[in-house]
Chains A and B, each alone.
Chain A
Amino acid sequence: MSGHDYDAVNYWKANLRLIFGSLIVWALVSYGFAILLRPMLAGIPIGGTDLGFWFAQQGSILTFIALIFHYAWRMNKLDEKFDVHEE
């Protein structure tokens, strides 16, 4: 990677930022909304129960899918921007 040192450092930092942001959302929907914060969301009714239950059984899974596709899409852009993409 000797020819790309400067870009490489920033590429990796950008990747870490993206991962960090994604994992905050990952933790928020599952450990947050679905478990620890469920009592706070108890006032929001959804189909016979509350929003926390929805996050525990559906919402978190849907969010996980969105997170991975978003990550893959953004990383492809970053790969090209920093010129580290595959031939």
Chain B
Amino acid sequence: MDQFIINLLFVGGSFALYIGIAIWAKAGSTSDFYVAGGGVHPITNGAAIGADWMSAASFISMAGLIAAGGYANSTFLMGWTGGYVLLAMLLAPYLRKFGKFTVPEFIGDRFYSRNARFVAVACLIVASVTYVIGQMAGAGVAFSRFLEVDSTMGLIIAAVVIFIYAVLGGMKGITYTQVAQYCVLIVAYTIPAVFISLQLTGNALPPLGLFSTHVESGVPLLEKLDQIITELGFRDYTADVDNKLNMVLFTLSLMIGTAGLPHVIIRFFTVPKVADARWSAGWALVFIALLYLTAPAVASMARLNLMTTIYPDGVEGQAIEYDERPQWIQEWEVTGLIQFEDKNNDGRIQFYNDGNAEFADEAEARGWEGNEFTYNNDILVLANPEIANLPGWVIGLIAAGGLAAALSTAAGLLLAISSAVSHDLIKGGFKPDISEKGELLAARISMAVAIVLATYLGANPPGFAAQVVALAFGIAAASLFPALMMGIFFKRINNVGAISGMLAGLGATLVYIFIFLGWFFIPGTNNLANTPDNWLLGISPLSFGAVGAIINFAVAFAVSHATEEPPVEIQELVESVRYPRGSGKATDH
């Protein structure tokens, strides 16, 4: 059967499933729409959190990043999982006990201030909108590669599917489609990995294969990889990192950013009990770990496969002739994500690190005149089945899996945005007397508007799209996480302290990012070149969220202690969120 038909069957079949679930799980009340009625089982919720959290970045990009950076990019693995420990112990159970619908609502009530609530809404919307652009763009790429449609057309198809199940079902529809999407994406991710691990190491479990012996050469897989790439002038895969401060702060920014992202936090409002919120954090991490433990194995194995494809006789031998390149290289060249330029006109694909001065002599001796092969990190996962010569249905599965990862995260983000608009801005701000029916309608309309906006931005991504994802983590880390944590753990923090803390943390982070990446990301407006020598103490703009969080804590403490204690009823509110008894379902009252 034609590969196009197979892909169409897999993607079409998965979409039909999501729409079927949406019709089955239609939302009838605001409680259904915002928190799925509050009756989701912790394991179900764990799987939904897994899909909600694992985006196109986790599914498509992460293994490619690790393959390129080796040990240095382990930061993504630790950073995007360690946040769940913080969620489970510092936020989720208490916010569940608080028992309302949105994250800004807690900040507004706890700091007895509408302004605090609006600052939180602004942070939430900026963080979520920047994040959703990446998902829509990712869905567009997957469509254009696997279904041979124009990527704008692909985006519109994706938007219509999300529209159907998110607008109709709200959190209830999203929850059950996310469970289905989790199953699709994890199967799609692990099946090719198992095959490749078997081929290279004889071990069917990729995480164990990573530390096993490479069957062909008889040396450990990672040692073999280190050997091959260092002989081509690349950096040792397992090499240690010099700038440890930046590595620590980057990991910390990802962890607290993860814990502060509203679309993840609201998933904990859907379980019946406080104890369930704790369990679902654990289950969520189990489901996430299935992919995150596979990713580093995929990374090193795909990199090794790529090297042996290009140097079939070993790195001492000749590189492969361009005319004999495998089918998958030809297919990905069409998309522009793989590029070849025959600099020394020998008809062979020399792939090495021409930026390494120490390797220049050897390259010259071999008659090489520069690296001739470049590839986009994102293709490693998508091309994985083709690199390993797996059957066509595995490729169809990858297509459906990549789309599931992008759509499930987009839906969660869109729900966080629309509930902040309808519940925090409209009901909590401009029109407090709105009826439940009116609010439900407002929620659906804001969801629809958010989808249209996200689709437009996904089709016309602003030039700074890649940088703004870092912004989402920076904002969540520097503003929302500290405010939520202090609201639960420190009774003395008052309204003025919390607002000044959020603004100071957010402001410092934005200024630091803008100095290096341009004011409001307008190219050419940056004050300093974005290079490590310019960074303050070697801290990259992407790592600054953790510093912003520390500033937030410090300012909030200083200002709160210089001003009045919070009123007694607020201190009682803090007491009540600390003890599980009397939780009940999430309500509006």
Spell out A's residues near B (CB within 8 Å): 1, 4, 8, 11-12, 15, 19, 22-23, 26, 30-31, 34-36, 38-39, 46-50, 52-54, 56-58, 60-62, 64-65, 67-69, 71-72, 75-76, 79, 83-87
Contact = CB atoms under 8 A, between A and B. Distances in A.
Contacts of B241: 35
Contacts of B575: 1, 8
The 8 closest A-B pairs by CB, nearest first: A47-B211, A48-B220, A56-B74, A48-B222, A48-B223, A72-B278, A68-B282, A57-B296
Contacts of B580: 79, 84-86
Contacts, number: 140
B581 interface: yes
Contact of B212 (A23, A39, A47, A62): A47
Interface in B433-490: none
B238 interface: yes
Interface residues of B, number: 53
B238 A49 contact: yes
Interface of B is mostly: helix
A39 B314 CA distance: 31
B77 A57 contact: yes
Interface string B268-287: 00000111001101100110
B578 interface: yes
Contacts of A79: 275, 580
B82 interface: yes
B378 to A, nearest CB: 20
A52 B240 CA distance: 9
Nearest to B221: A48
Contact of A61 (B238, B248, B292): B292
Nearest to B273: A86
Nearest to B227: A48
A72 B247 contact: no
A43 to B, nearest CB: 13
B293 interface: yes
Contacts of B221: 47-48
B539 interface: no
Contacts of B211: 46-49, 54
A67 B279 contact: no
A53 B74 CA distance: 9
A56 B578 CA distance: 33
Given A36-B244, A75-B275, A12 B578 contact: yes
Contacts of B248: 31, 35-36
